[in-house]
Structure 1
């Protein structure tokens, strides 16, 4: 496996130093930056495989930086933040990050998250193609045959319902707005007054969830959208 390079962005030098020690012990190369502007300069000069990004920094904050990074790059981003409210996490994930860890954090947990994100990001096309199945818990979707199974029981979905479910399962953990889901599946512009997605989500949950009012496969991120 090639050596991966992690960009650590935090205005606290102690956190940068501590995290760098753990990352290097795991065999990663580490580049650090004290602020978002410096991080953007680094991204222009060298290949970065994953970014660990502080939220509260002077100047450009982490959310703003993440949005700007996503205009050009798609490597995994893990937020570190002292903000622990659910809405803070939702805003972080909605801005394009794959994960969100609150401070103070366990360095070993962060290392596990880094490894998980890199495994997912660098899964080769051959590995993806070798299995037609998308899985989450007891839910299994076969994209080649358009079959859906929940606890080994086949569930019948309409073509659009199947496409929505497959889209979310292919990007587990990523929050999709109603607009993004609609445009990805229907391939046409979205209109704010259109409640098509909400209706389809209700039907999908009625078919795959044991308790549609407490879904475990498709979750609503209030004010943002949906995720698997």
Structure 2
């Protein structure tokens, strides 16, 4: 049993918010390898959209972002959100740490840091939360025309009838549902599916996308919900 499993009875879903794409990608890959489900946001506005539609167990939030910074976002979220927040920042001064904690952050980690220390801090925060508080009382739902996708359960329904998904299709739906409205390129999909990143695997993803479209689209050749974004990849666009 890995550390994430010991910390929670269900797979913890983390949100990484950082304007540096390289850092977002590195942290996402590292945390996925350690058993977490990980979504990413590039700024405060993007994070707000994801938080409005999905439940997260913990937010890892960079302080130094353009526009609304991490401390301001933390203070705003704390008015309505109980989800734990771990701040990341290049600032190491005591006054800055205090400002973050006063805004409502649960912990504070100064850059640069060892990824293992971040992992330990995340698990420490999750252990402090009773498991029952991390279980969403009602599943969040994404609507795709006559279909509905229950995010927490990973189930696709058409009315009262379940739609059978293969293991790979189920993984793809979870990945897209974690980032609705955000294009995901084929390379990222291959990596998140845990496969070797070569052209053959990217073509295999294309095949899986085609099969998934046949299950959720009225016209798979002109997809409405699982769209191709030119030069950016694929995107789930729920109603």
Q: Is residue 47 of structure 2 the alignment partner of residue 31 of structure 1?
A: no
Instruction: State the alpha-carbon separation in 2 of the partners of residues 109 and 21 from structure 1.
Output: 16
Q: Deviations over 1:40-92 (max 9, x none)?
A: 11000011110000001011000110011111111110000001101000000
Give the aligned length: 125
Q: Which residue of 1 aligns with 2:93?
A: 85
Picking from 60, 64, 70, the partner of 1:62 is 70
Within 5 Å, give how 1:10-25 maps onto structure 2.
10-25=18-33
Picking from 93, 105, 108, the partner of 1:100 is 108
RMSD over aligned CA atoms reads 1.2
TM-score of the pair, normalised by structure 2 = 0.51
Instruction: State the alpha-carbon separation in 2 of the partners of residues 119 and 51 from structure 1.
Output: 15
Q: Is the 1:75–1:121 Cα contact (8 Å) retained in structure 2?
A: no
Within 5 Å, give how 1:164-175 maps onto structure 2.
none
**Cα drift, residue 122 of structure 1:** 2.7
Q: Which residue of 2 aligns with 1:167?
A: none
Give the unaligned 5+ runs of structure 2.
1-8, 134-239
Q: Deviations over 1:101-144 (max 9, x none)?
A: 0011110000000011011123559xxxxxxxxxxxxxxxxxxx
Q: Which residue of 1 aligns with 2:61?
A: 53
- Point out 4+ residue stretches in structure 1 off by more than 2 angstroms: 122-125
Give the unaligned 5+ runs of structure 1.
126-228
Instruction: State the alpha-carbon separation in 2 of the partners of residues 70 and 41 from structure 1.
Output: 16
Q: Is the 1:7–1:52 Cα contact (8 Å) retained in structure 2?
A: yes
Q: Which residue of 2 aligns with 1:150?
A: none
Picking from 118, 130, 145, the partner of 1:122 is 130
Q: Which residue of 2 aligns with 1:5?
A: 13
Q: Is the 1:77–1:97 Cα contact (8 Å) retained in structure 2?
A: yes
